[in-house]
């Protein structure tokens, strides 16, 4: 207990400490507690080991000089611009795409400004909006996640947000949002910033990047954490129209991506053959895991084009089912507390042997009805 000097010890007062804004004081950390498991398919990462030494030799490391601040990442920008058909100066690099998403909300959101989200979706968009001082407006699409043009337009007309976010393919539902719907919103609301989160777009083989020229109010985020198999490297990219780029470059943190990261990321970005191999593997494994889940009568499974699959329990508690998977040393994600995800769990694709373990675990997990213990 903390006792102030003049209270005489009888009337404890709350300590006089700085307090954050009330909405921040109520925040819980995003991270889930560290849990040990043989099969870790809870975070939508790429499951195959990707050692840094595959990309950069000890000799090359000698050329990475840590005493100097990093450069602007021109080489990485050139490689990525060629990959996406943009200009290099349209790309903002970040320490993971979450950092860049925060930048979007800091620059275009903030106090008195609204972000429209279509739930269920990636929860960081809401958290980062609030962190930046803005207000979230939630439109509940529910499951299956089928966002219609009418619904999106009605929500826009009602909310009149400064920012609207479309995650496509969407996390946690695994399906895409119609690109024409997004473009129509961007066209009808030229003063709204349309943020398209394309973290999983390679898996879907669809992107709105080639359409950006005609929509200066659209920004697109990408990440190295999924098909590029580099979640640990922390690299994200924001693709911005030349009309808006100065707002982002002005607000960017200087030197936010390290020299070492830039060197490794450039190598990874050049390795298109690995991307194609991973896409083929993901498609094959997704089919296998999806079919296995479909055979379980206790769950509804939602079709996915990504490296993860969402399923919903018809009865029982997600926490119990999650615990039963863990008894089999398989760690999946209980997302039942996400808005619109009651009863839902999400499993990322593992390596083929890991997916075998997940599929084998299904029988044990769902052999008995999901009852609390
Ligand atoms: C939709 C979506 N966007 C962004 C991210 C964050 O990616 P990063 O690792 O680049 O911060 C994730 C991570 O799971 C995600 O699912």
What residues does each domain of the chain span? 31-49+273-366, 67-270
Q: From the alpha carbon of 236, which atom of ligand 1 is closest?
A: 10
Phi, psi of 231 (to 5 degrees): -60, -30
pLDDT at site 368? 57
Any bridge partners for residue 115, and if so which? 136, 163
173 pocket-lining for ligand 1 (C-beta < 6 Å): no
pLDDT tens for residues 233-247?
999 999 999 999 999
Ligand 1, atom 16: nearest CA belongs to which residue?
Answer: 171
Is 357 a residue whose pLDDT tops 90?
A: yes
Query: ipTM score here?
Result: 0.99
Supply the DSSP string of 229-252, one letter for each residue.
--TTT--EEEE--TTTHHHHHHHS
Dist CA 276 CA 278 (whole Å): 5
Q: β-pairing, 91-94 with 114-119? A: unpaired
CA atoms within 13 A on the CB side of 290: 16
Q: Are the CB atoms for 165 and 105 separated by under 8 Å? A: no
Nearest-CA neighbor of 142 among 249, 300, 294, 316? 300
Q: Do you find a cis peptide bond into 120, omega within 30 degrees of 0?
A: yes
Alpha-carbon span 261 to 273, nearest angstrom? 21
Q: What is the pLDDT of residue 3?
A: 43
Residue 320 DSSP one-character state: H
Mean pLDDT of 25-30: 83
Question: pLDDT band at 27, cuts 50/70/90?
Answer: confident
Substitution site in 31, 98, 265, 269 for ligand 1 pocket (most atoms within 8 Å of beta carbon): 98
pLDDT tens by residue, 276-299: 999 999 999 999 999 999 999 999
Helix extents (H) in the chain: 22-25, 58-61, 74-84, 97-108, 124-131, 149-159, 179-188, 201-204, 245-251, 259-270, 272-294, 318-327, 352-367
Contacts of 329 (CB under 8 A, 6+ apart): 37, 38, 39, 357
Residue 33: its pLDDT value, please?
A: 73
3-state secondary structure of 159: helix
Q: How confident is the model at residue 31 (pLDDT cuts 50, 70, 90)?
A: confident
Judged by DSSP in three states, 101 sits in helix
Ligand 1 centroid from CA 118, angstroms: 16
Distance 124 CA to ligand 1 centre (A): 8
Per-residue confidence (pLDDT) for residue 160, from 0 to 100: 98
- pLDDT score of 2: 46
Whether 306 lines ligand 1, by a CB cut-off of 6 Å, is no
The answer to whether residues 158 and 186 touch, using CB atoms and an 8 Å cutoff, is no
Q: What percent of the chain has pLDDT over 90?
A: 90
* Best of 100, 126, 171, 346 for a ligand 1 pocket test (most atoms within 8 Å of beta carbon): 171
Who has greater pLDDT, 67 or 30? 67
CB 334 within 8 A of CB 322: yes
Q: What is the pLDDT of residue 12?
A: 77
Is the peptide bond prior to 325 cis by the omega test (within 30 degrees of 0)?
no
Q: At what angle do helices 124-131 and 97-108 cross, to 10 degrees?
A: 50
Other C-beta atoms lying within 10 Å of the C-beta of residue 189: 18
Q: How far is CA 336 from CA 84, 205, 243, 310, in A?
A: 35, 29, 40, 11
Mean pLDDT of the chain: 94
Q: Which atom of ligand 1 is nearest to the CA of 44?
A: 14
* 259-270 vs 74-84: helix crossing angle, rounded to 10: 30
Model pLDDT for residues 137-196, shown as the tens digit of each residue: 999 999 999 999 999 999 999 999 999 999 999 999 999 999 999 999 999 999 999 999
**Ligand 1 within 6 A of CB of 97:** yes
Q: Which atom of ligand 1 is nearest to 43's Cα?
A: 14
Q: Is the pLDDT of residue 13 over 90?
A: no
Sheet with strand 333-334: strands edge to edge: 299-302, 308-313, 344-348, 333-334
Cβ of 122 closer than 6 Å to ligand 1, yes or no, is: yes
CATH tag, 31-49+273-366: 3.90.1150.10
What share of the chain in percent tops pLDDT 70?
Answer: 96
Average pLDDT over residues 1-17: 63
Domains 31-49+273-366 and 67-270 share a fold: no
Contact between residue 111 and residue 140 where contact means Cβ atoms under 8 Å apart: no
Put residue 173 in one of left, alpha, beta given phi > 0 → left and psi -120 to 50 → alpha: alpha
Index of the ligand 1 atom closest to the CA of residue 167? 1
With a 6 Å cutoff on the Cβ, whether 348 touches ligand 1 is no
CA-CA distance, 355 to 25, in Å (whole number)?
40
Determine the pLDDT at residue 6: 52
- pLDDT at position 352, please? 98
What is d(CA 283, CA 309) in angstroms, rounded to the nearest whole number? 12
> What fold does the segment set 67-270 form as a domain?
3.40.640
Cα of 199 to ligand 1 centre, how many Å?
6
Higher model confidence: residue 86 or residue 7? 86
User: In this predicted structure, what is the pLDDT of residue 4?
Assistant: 47
Residue 40 has pLDDT above 70, yes or no: yes
Buried b (16+ CB within 10 A) or exposed e, 75-99: bbbebbbeebebebebbbbbbbbbb
Helix (H, G, I), strand (E, B) or coil at 258: coil
């Amino acid at each position: 207990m903390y006792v102030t000097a003049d209270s005489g010890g009888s009337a404890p007062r709350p300590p006089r400490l700085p307090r954050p804004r009330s909405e921040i004081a109520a925040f819980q950390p995003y991270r889930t507690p560290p849990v040990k498991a043989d099969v870790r398919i809870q975070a939508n990462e790429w499951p195959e080991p990707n050692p840094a030494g595959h990309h950069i030799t000890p000799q090359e490391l000698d050329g990475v000089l840590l005493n100097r601040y990093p450069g602007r990442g021109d080489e990485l920008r050139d490689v990525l611009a060629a990959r996406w058909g943009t200009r290099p100066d349209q790309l903002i690099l970040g320490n993971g795409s979450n950092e860049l998403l925060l930048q979007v909300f800091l620059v275009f959101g903030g106090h008195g400004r609204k972000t429209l989200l279509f739930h269920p979706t990636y929860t960081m968009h809401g958290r980062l909006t609030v962190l930046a001082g803005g207000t979230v407006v939630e439109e509940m699409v529910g499951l299956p996640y089928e966002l219609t043009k009418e619904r999106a337009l009605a929500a826009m007309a009602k909310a009149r947000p400064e920012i609207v976010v479309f995650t496509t393919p969407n996390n946690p539902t695994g399906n895409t949002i119609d690109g024409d719907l997004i473009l129509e919103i961007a066209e009808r609301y030229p003063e709204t910033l349309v943020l398209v989160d394309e973290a999983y777009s390679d898996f879907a083989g669809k992107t709105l990047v080639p359409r950006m020229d005609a929509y200066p109010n659209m920004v697109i985020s990408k990440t190295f954490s999924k098909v590029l198999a580099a979640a640990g490297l922390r690299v994200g990219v924001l693709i911005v129209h030349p009309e808006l780029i100065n707002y982002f470059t002005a607000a960017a943190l200087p030197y936010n991506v390290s020299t070492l990261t830039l060197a490794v990321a450039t190598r990874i970005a050049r390795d298109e053959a690995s991307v194609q191999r991973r896409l083929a593997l993901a498609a094959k494994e997704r089919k296998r895991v999806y079919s296995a889940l479909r055979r379980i009568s206790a769950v509804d499974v939602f079709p996915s084009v990504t490296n993860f699959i969402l399923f919903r329990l018809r009865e029982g508690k997600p926490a119990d089912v999650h615990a039963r998977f863990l008894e089999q040393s398989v760690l999946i994600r209980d997302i039942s507390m996400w808005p619109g995800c009651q009863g839902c769990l999400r499993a990322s694709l593992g390596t083929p042997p890991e997916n075998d373990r997940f599929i084998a675990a299904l029988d044990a997990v769902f052999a008995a009805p999901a009852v609390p213990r």
